[in-house]
Structure 1
Amino acid sequence: MAAFPRMTFEHEMKFRHAAMEWLAMRTNDGAEPMYYLDIEEFEYDGAKIPLRNRYKGIWKPASFGAALSFTTKFTKPGRERPYEDAVGSDGLMRYKWRDGGPDIPDNRALRAAMEAGLPLIWFYGVAEGVYQAVFPVFLVGEEADEQQFMVEVADMDRLSRDGQIFSEGPSLSVVEKRYAARMARQRLHQPVFRSMVMRAYDEHCAVCALHHVELLDAAHILPDAHEDGIAAVTNGLSLCKIHHSAYDRKFMGIRPDYVVEIRTDLLNEVDGPMLRHGLQERHGERLLVLPQQRKERPSSVLLEKAYLRFREVA
């Protein structure tokens, strides 16, 4: 690996732009995860500078003046909640300091990125050695009492703007805060949640076993808005777009024992082959595909709550 001299602010920005453009190309604009060895293939000006560190959560290359990326490790299902991040009332995500106090090098590196308004990459573990790259993200504040940074998960067009420094979160109305919190969760959790669910179901529809990932969605058993609607694989189902739509609109329900039910009025309807084969014939049948690991299978508690809501209209 070639050694780079100390980078200027302008060179760091060019590097970050190049890295994120490369990640966008390799991940289908952030929709697909990457194996850790693939992440290490990035080259800049003919040399390799790692985009993350295998052994540290916060990464600042030696030639950089500020952190380039930070990582959230994958947590195996059943041990604890997959995400430890939180959304504040200001709609911003939080990322904890590394243990050791505010002035250890890693925390200073994040602080330097915040103060310079530099874009960073958040690598979120979705399986052992597999990461969802969330980018660009900006550190826009620090809460010393809670030992954490405030993170804005931004759109790619934010890269074209000048960096901004915030000493505290933006002042928002109650409605704006609620909207900002929802958008923050979506920008981080949607790609992470999708990757976890697709991997668990080996890119098959749970109901019909369709095996074309482009036609599959990661469906929530209970929606985000529900108090139990966490973005965890146990609250997820891999469904083709037809079955996802049918599930969300209560045309189809799934019992806690993984048996599919179709709404009564739809069972009695006469239509084309999609209705007959895609929905009516699935009534009373078990899901065709489930995760191999039992701890990744749909929660029976969450399925029961969703099924009771389905029965209200069935």
Structure 2
Amino acid sequence: MNDPDASFRLAAFERLRLLVQLHGGSLPWSVVNEGFVHEGARIHFATKAEGIFKPAPMTGVLSVTTVVPRAGRRAWYHDQLESEAKLAMAADGLSYAFNGTDPDSRQNRLLRDARDRQLPIIYFFGVAPAIYEPIFPSYVVEWDPKALSVKLAPKPLADTATLWTPPNPDERRYALRQVKQRLHQSAFRERVVAAYGGRCALTGLPEVRLVDAAHIIPDGDVERGQPDIRNGICMSKLHHAAYDADLIGIDPDHRIHISERLLEQHDGPMLELGLKALKGQVIRPPKEKSLMPDPERLALRFERFKMAA
């Protein structure tokens, strides 16, 4: 190990593991921006000003961050399609662009140094505006001045003893499969929640911390279960669980149906007002008509509900 910053990295990774557990995966920028404490000092994980970031007390790079498109005339999730296409094609690592076109610039030399010294770093992958999925430890395994990019490889289950050893090819492929799945699910949730303005489509509940992206067709279905916005509906966590259990159904006309099992029960206001009262109502649509739930998927899923009812 050739890393005088080892204690900084260990402290950063320990704090990130806790934050991921607390937030269930993706982290808002406000949380990333809080940084971590090391030897009594607060150290940033990353900054918005620099995609390739080295804290002042450290000798080497600590993190890299993707540039996430802001909401504008076009919804941000349309702008993510190109990066998703690149992610889908990745086989053993994630491509990350140089800062500018000069391979010998300070920040790009930091990436070369990370490759040469086999430094474990953090990749804050943007899944939505101001929402990041931390991929760590990651390693710069290729530094390509002609392509003006590096290849970052995540490593599965790295412990302290092996933290400064980049993953071998088999580990890279295995870890990347896991990372892809996590990134797809994180991006799916953020897109669906954004499409519905952060509100539950069944009740209008406006608290983003209490809503989920419910799949119409489960993601295990290879043909129709893709993490596509039109395969999702924003629901509160309660209604998402009821939908997954086929206690709630939504037909192709977007009308809500309640299972007879629930209708026959009488046990408190949550059941009466929060679930049974939804019978016959129509879900609240997303902000863009083009993002309405796919009627073919709704029809297939509604058949499952009717069979279970």
Partner of 2:8: 15
Which amino acid counterpart does residue 154 of structure 2 have in structure 1? E
Secondary structure at the counterpart of residue 286 of structure 1: coil
Secondary structure at the counterpart of residue 208 of structure 1: coil
Paired residues of 1:140 and 1:169 also in contact (CA < 8 A): no
Identity %: 29
How far the C-alpha of 1:214 sits from its partner, in A, is 6.8
The within-5 A match list for 1:155-170 is 158-159=159-160, 161-166=162-167, 169-170=169-170
CA distance change for structure 1 residues 162 and 52 in 2, over 3 Å: closer, same or farther? closer
CA distance change for structure 1 residues 57 and 277 in 2, over 3 Å: closer, same or farther? same
Secondary structure at the counterpart of residue 218 of structure 1: strand
The within-5 A match list for 1:181-260 is 182-191=177-186, 193-194=188-189, 204-209=199-204, 216-225=211-220, 226=222, 229=225, 231=227, 235-255=231-251, 258-260=254-256
Secondary structure at the counterpart of residue 149 of structure 1: strand
CA distance change for structure 1 residues 13 and 270 in 2, over 3 Å: closer, same or farther? same
Tell me the C-alpha RMSD between the 2 structures. Answer: 4.2
CA distance change for structure 1 residues 306 and 262 in 2, over 3 Å: closer, same or farther? farther
Quote the Cα distance in structure 1 between the aligned partners of 2:300 and 2:180.
24
Quote the Cα distance in structure 2 between the aligned partners of 1:234 and 1:124.
23
Partner of 1:125: 126
Paired residues of 1:13 and 1:118 also in contact (CA < 8 A): no
1:203-236 residue CA offsets vs partner (Å, 9 max, x unmatched): 6543235577776433234444445655466654
Q: Find 1:270's aligned residue among 260, 264, 270.
A: 264
Paired residues of 2:216 and 2:301 also in contact (CA < 8 A): no
Secondary structure at the counterpart of residue 132 of structure 1: strand
Quote the Cα distance in structure 1 between the aligned partners of 2:262 and 2:15.
52
Paired residues of 1:94 and 1:149 also in contact (CA < 8 A): yes
Per the normalisation by structure 2, the TM-score is: 0.69
CA distance change for structure 1 residues 82 and 171 in 2, over 3 Å: closer, same or farther? closer
Partner of 1:33: 27
How far the C-alpha of 1:126 sits from its partner, in A, is 5.0
CA distance change for structure 1 residues 50 and 241 in 2, over 3 Å: closer, same or farther? closer
Partner of 1:95: 95
Q: Find 2:153's aligned residue among 126, 140, 151.
A: 151
The within-5 A match list for 1:45-60 is 45-60=39-54
> Which structure would you say has the larger RCO, counting Cα contacts within 8 Å and 6 or more residues apart?
1
How far the C-alpha of 1:149 sits from its partner, in A, is 0.8
How far the C-alpha of 1:109 sits from its partner, in A, is 2.5
- In structure 1, runs of 5+ residues without a counterpart are 1-7
How far the C-alpha of 1:245 sits from its partner, in A, is 3.3
Partner of 2:279: 283
Quote the Cα distance in structure 1 between the aligned partners of 2:43 and 2:262.
62
How far the C-alpha of 1:15 sits from its partner, in A, is 0.6
CA distance change for structure 1 residues 83 and 19 in 2, over 3 Å: closer, same or farther? same
- Kindly indicate whether residue 73 of structure 2 is the aligned counterpart of residue 77 of structure 1: no
CA distance change for structure 1 residues 310 and 229 in 2, over 3 Å: closer, same or farther? closer
CA distance change for structure 1 residues 237 and 106 in 2, over 3 Å: closer, same or farther? farther
Partner of 2:291: 299
Quote the Cα distance in structure 2 between the aligned partners of 1:169 and 1:163.
16
Paired residues of 1:71 and 1:124 also in contact (CA < 8 A): yes
Paired residues of 2:114 and 2:140 also in contact (CA < 8 A): no
